[in-house]
Amino acid sequence: MPYIHNTITGLMASSPAQSEFYQAVEEVLESLEPLLEKSPHYRKNHIIERMVEPERQIMFRVPWVDDNGEIHINKGYRIEFNSALGPYKGGLRFHPSVNASIIKFLGFEQIFKNALTGLQIGGGKGGSNFDPKGRSDNEIMRFCQSYMSELYRHIGPTTDVPAGDIGVGAREIGYMFGQYKRLTGRYEGVLTGKGTLWGGSLVRKEATGYGCVFFAENMLKSQGDDLKGKTCLVSGAGNVAIYTIEKLYQLGALPVSASDSSGTLYDAKGINLAHLKELKEQKRVSLQNYLEQYPHAEFVPVKDYPEDGHAVWRYKADAGFPCATQNELTEADAKALMTNGCNCISEGANMPSTPEAVEVFLRNKIHYGPGKAANAGGVATSQLEMSQNASMQQLSFEQVETRLKEIMHDIHQRCSETAKEFGQPHNLVLGANIAGFRRVADAMIEQGVV
């Protein structure tokens, strides 16, 4: 469609060298073709041109001093993409790969993910190219305080409410919240992912992983199947991967893999969850250390990965859960998964499958849950934390998990019904993109040209 091609071409001219952002936009816009043909008023109101441009882009320097007295300068970002449905909502990522393209792709995805939850939250994202690995607690605290010394003036409980992401957990959220409170003198729900002692929600740490599994279970149940007894591949070893593994065990599945920046771990007997948590949440060491206690397991270092993909996706399994990072699952990986009998993919990470891999999944008509739908459990629980903060109450673990399960069921139903409406019942990518877009676009039209 020339309209969509021209939009992408215009973005490349106005926002050069942002390949991840273009990929995210193109994936959404291609899905919208049948909607734009059916409802031309979206084009008339220039909704797409307005939606692909962030409402606000904030970039700033973050100076900090390490334990040896050396001064470092990092780049800080906050992209406030769309507030049609509510305050900007989306995580902060601290990782050396962070740049404007990464943050914009994540923020753009967040618009639709948040819309799919049915909750009143807009889309945003932020972070820095700071690498917390190998840094002391004091260095991380000083960096977080410096980052918040700029960010605080742009956020608030009814304006923009950041959360955690890669490299930003409860420790980092705590340091940033402390600095926000110090600078503003206000104790309010300006960040989510807080400690439960001071306003955090139970289940927040587990939410993205649990939600990803709930989404997979909903996909399978729609065809009279479930996860019980299924062998599952999981990538990553952070919060999302760990709690994906935990919920898979709870539903009777057998998760057999995990991965980190050093390589891929495979345990045919099932990943020992307690030991995985010890290695990654307490000791913060490589997965290779798992072999010291469980020598029967396999570890494939990154240098031995296949040239055309990732080692984790080359094992035989019934289902896959990409929970690491963007574009980690290639076309060759997808073909290997199909050959090995996989019939379900539920994405815990943001855009973890390349466009070519997605085509393989859709062509084979397997159960495929795109990240903007399957990993929305984290932001949904963040919104529940916001509502708890506003009412000065705290829900029980069971109450939050029950609500999370309901939200993931509703997201699947929304995506599935929309896919059927447009004659592609197996295509939840199309269903998710159109359902999310339509909710945001209609709100934008009702609010005028702003």
**Cβ atoms within 10 A of the Cβ of 425, count?**
15
Cα separation of 96 and 94, whole Å?
Answer: 7
Is 133 among the catalytic positions? no
Which of 104, 125, 205, 280 does the annotation list as catalytic? 125
SS3 content of the chain, % helix, strand, coil (to 5): 50, 15, 35
Q: Contact at 8 Å (CB) between 200 and 394?
A: no
| 331-339 vs 355-363: helix crossing angle, rounded to 10 | 30
CA atoms within 13 A on the CB side of 138: 5
- The residue with tokens 């993919």 is 345
Cα separation of 132 and 96, whole Å?
Answer: 9
| 100-116 vs 397-421: helix crossing angle, rounded to 10 | 90
Mapped onto helix, strand or coil, the DSSP state of residue 439 is: helix
**How would DSSP label each residue in 6-63?**
HHHHHHHHHS-S-HHHHHHHHHHHHHTHHHHHH-THHHHTTHHHHHTS-SEEEEEEEE
In terms of DSSP H, where are the helices of 284-427? Answer: 290-293, 331-339, 355-363, 371-374, 377-391, 397-421
3-class SS letters over 195-237: CHHHCCCCCCCCHHHHHHHHHHHHHHHCCCCCCCCCEEEECCC
Please identify every residue annotated as catalytic: 125
